[in-house]
Amino acid sequence: MSRCRSGGASGPLPALFRSGRTARILDGPDEFHISSVARRVLRGVAGTRREG
């Protein structure tokens, strides 16, 4: 990176990527994750029902 004069690992671009990754982790589960967990839970409940 320093050959392109971007400032190396202490420049603005690497800092932007680091802060963006942290924001994604702290953001929590999104709609896709919530729905996939709900599907798994409902599958488990449907498998344990007693009929009759």
Digit-coded pLDDT (tens) for 4-51? 555 567 778 888 777 776 666 666 777 888 889 899 998 887 776 665
Collapsing DSSP to helix, strand or coil, 40 comes out as helix
pLDDT at position 24, please?
A: 67
Q: What is the pLDDT of residue 6?
A: 55
**What is the pLDDT at residue 29?**
72
pLDDT, position 11: 76
39 or 2: whose pLDDT is higher?
Answer: 39
- The CA–CA distances, whole Å, from 23 to 17, 19, 42 equal 10, 6, 30
The pTM is what? Answer: 0.37
